Amino acid sequence: MNTNPGARAIPASSADITPEWLNSVVTFNDEQVTISALDIEPIGVGIGIMSLLYRVTPTYESGRGPRSFIAKIAPPYEVVRTIAAGYRFYETEVAMYQTLAPELRLRPPELYFASHDPDSDDFVILMEDLGHLRTVDQLEGCRIEDARAIVRQLALHHAHWWQDDRLEQPYIMKFSRAPYPQYNAMSVEQAWPTADERFGHLVPERIRSLAVRWSEIGPAFMEDIENHPVTLCHGDVRLDNIFFHDDEVSTISVVDWQIASSNVGTGDLSYFMSQSLTVEVRRTYEEELTRLYYDTLLENGVRDYSFEEFWLSYRRAIVFCLCYPIQAGGAELVNDRAVDLVTAMFERSMSAILDLDADEVML
């Protein structure tokens, strides 16, 4: 494995991922390989919104490496690149794989190579292909058995990083501190007109008022995080990013660490619950799953965190998660599947906010 950034050119498109480039950057198990040819196919079209993903199947002239691996690079879309640069998504993900991956309880894929250019904000990550593992389409929604596994593993991860001093690493976003609250307000304000044009028919007037007042609602929520215990949040815990190891009970792998942040744990939990479960499943099992998350935290060392504080934080985070479909709805939607995904995110988010009267507990 080679993870040193170096000064090598970073692929701007799949055409730049060549045998010559790979031979200059990649080793497997510290063994130098020579790749003579490649087959590259796009994957995750309509799933990954902030990045482009390719499955690379190499032909080895010498040495041994994986049968295939995944290449992740930045897209050419201006709106997406602006959002990514503002939040430092690409810098964050490269640093997470290079430094903290061994301690992430939401098991990431093995890293083969990663690099980020701070000037252009181009990046590349070469990582393990998890395509042999079971996945669940986010549009279909999560079965309760899988939801239990995800929620429990999420709580184990959060408990491990609860109030950890390493959250002060510079590449981990401090969700509560400038410039992130201000940038969140700006990006939602910019995305809302397009999102409203495309998906406004799904937004009840009661919730529309939240969207148009986001410049005060979003930053207020984020700045208040300073008053609560924090952990290492993934930031995008949704089914399209989750792989199930069915040969290992309740074990999952999670990809897409671009939004890793120091945040309240309910940020991850509420996002998964409000946008990866169908409305029916969430309504039926919300009490069970939220209690499972809370109890697992306590069983794994979290102290001085009452259920009342947790539940209030969960409801408030449900409202904050409205910014995800708004920002996605204002971005480049590359096919019908992407449109359907953002539609589901809006519909599920709306129902969660209304079911919990969550807007009533925002600052």
Please return the burial class of 165, using the count of CB atoms within 10 Å of its CB with bins 0-12, 13-18 and 19+: exposed
Helices (H) then strands (E): counts for the chain? 12, 12
Domain boundaries, the chain: 14-76+110-128, 144-361
Question: What are 227's two structure tokens?
Answer: 């008053």
- Smallest Cα–Cα separation from 296: which of 137, 153, 166? 153
pLDDT value at residue 5: 40
Distance of alpha carbon 71 from alpha carbon 161, whole angstroms: 28
Distance of alpha carbon 123 from alpha carbon 186, whole angstroms: 24
Taking the CA atoms of 358, 321, 354 and 188 in sequence, report the sign of the dihedral they define.
Answer: positive
CATH fold for domain 144-361: Aminoglycoside 3'-phosphotransferase; Chain: A, domain 2 (3.90.1200)
pLDDT value at residue 30: 83
Tens place of pLDDT per residue across the chain (363 aa): 444 444 358 999 999 999 999 999 998 988 889 999 999 999 977 555 689 999 999 999 999 999 999 999 999 888 788 888 988 999 999 999 999 999 999 999 999 999 999 999 999 999 999 999 999 999 999 999 999 999 999 999 999 999 999 999 999 999 999 999 999 999 999 999 999 999 999 999 999 999 999 999 999 999 999 999 999 999 999 999 999 998 876 689 999 999 999 999 999 999 999 999 999 999 999 999 999 999 999 999 999 999 999 999 999 999 999 999 999 999 878 789 889 999 999 999 999 999 999 999 975
Distance of alpha carbon 24 from alpha carbon 10, whole angstroms: 12
This prediction has a pTM of 0.92
